[in-house]
Amino acid sequence: MTWFPRPFVKWAGGKGQLLQQLEKFFPPSFSTYYEPFLGGGAVFFSLVGSRPRFKAVLSDVNVELISAYEVVKNHVQELIDKLLFHETRYKLAPKQYYYRVRNEKPSDDVERAARLIFLNRTCYNGLYRVNKAGRFNVPFGRYKNPTICDRENLLAVSQVLRWSNTKLLAADYRQATKDAENGDFIYFDPPYHPASATANFTSYTDSGFSFNDQLQLGDWFRELDKRGCRILLSNSDMEEVRKIYAGYRIQEVEAVHAISCKADGRKGHSELIISNYLRQKL
């Protein structure tokens, strides 16, 4: 391969805008890489592009998302064919076709993955959100000419997932990292602790992520620290978060919200990068 892939879905909290700062904190070497809040996988793809092959365990509680990764890995050409079909139909009647696909409940893995990617590329702000019943409920996005089938990138993602020693899991962060040990590298990117009630967006699944979940993640962070794992975590710059990880290295960074239709609607804000090791290329 002469180039490395980008995320094939846009995900709220995606780290594309923060990568340059995160890369400064990557350890120079590690055994197995774990990413338990995978989302779009921007950090994994960045690591793939900067070092030799490595073992990775990629996971998320969103079953549909992990299933889509499996389809990209093992059935990419079938997926491309389905997306090209969606692309052709969408151009004939964009809004009507969007809601038709949104209301479908495909049982086939390839069709479900194609639906997920199609909706992600055509919904409002590229936002993945589900209601309490687990149903995708984001309205039509009104894009002029969205790229529904990015064939070259899907092929590159598929090649990397097959070429690297990568395991995909639909699991929570504890299950996904239960076998992590000394020398492994773990990146936690949980749903952020909200700066306000109106900023509380955690509907990646129908279960949400509460402050008690943040506290439990902090306890698990300390458990993995005792095992000798190298851990990197990002979260909002809130006093509550600082207290959870008191005693660890805490670095403030400036980031930009990636989920927005318009570039001028993406606001800068301060976030925290927290680690249990000292590693920063200045």
Q: Which of 17-21, 57-61, 122-126 is modeled with the greatest confidence?
A: 57-61
Q: Name the nearest CA neighbour of 40 among 171, 217, 233, 189.
A: 189
Query: Which DSSP letter does residue 193 get?
Result: P
Q: Are 223 and 269 in contact (CB under 8 A)?
A: no
From CA 39, how far away is CA 271, in angstroms rounded? 18
C-alpha angle 51-18-73 in degrees, rounded to nearest 5:
50
- Going along the chain from its start, the domains and CATH numbers come out as 19-69+160-197+220-275 (3.40.50.150)
Are 62 and 83 contacting, i.e. CB atoms less than 8 angstroms apart? no
pLDDT at 205 over 80: no
Query: Could you tell me how many residues make up the chain?
Result: 282
* More confident of the two residues 270 and 68: 68
Q: Which residues contact 260 (CB under 8 A, 6 or more apart)?
A: 125, 266
CA–CA dist 224, 178 (Å, integer): 9
DSSP per-residue codes, 118-176: HHHHHBGGG---B-TTS-B-PPB---SS-----HHHHHHHHHHHHHTEEEEEE--HHHH
What's this model's pTM, rounded to 2 decimal places? Answer: 0.90
Tell me the residue ranges of DSSP E strands in the chain.
Answer: 32-35, 55-60, 165-170, 185-188, 230-236, 249-256, 268-275
Q: Which residues pair with 84 in a beta bridge?
A: none
Q: pLDDT tens digits for 3-49? A: 679 999 998 766 767 888 899 899 999 999 999 999 999 999 999 98
Task: Please give the Cα distance from 76 to 68 (Å, whole number).
Answer: 10
* pLDDT per residue as tens digits for the range 167-197: 999 999 999 999 999 999 999 999 999 876 5
Interatomic CA distance for residues 255 and 265, integer angstroms: 13
Q: How many CA atoms lie within 13 A of 125 on its CB side?
A: 15
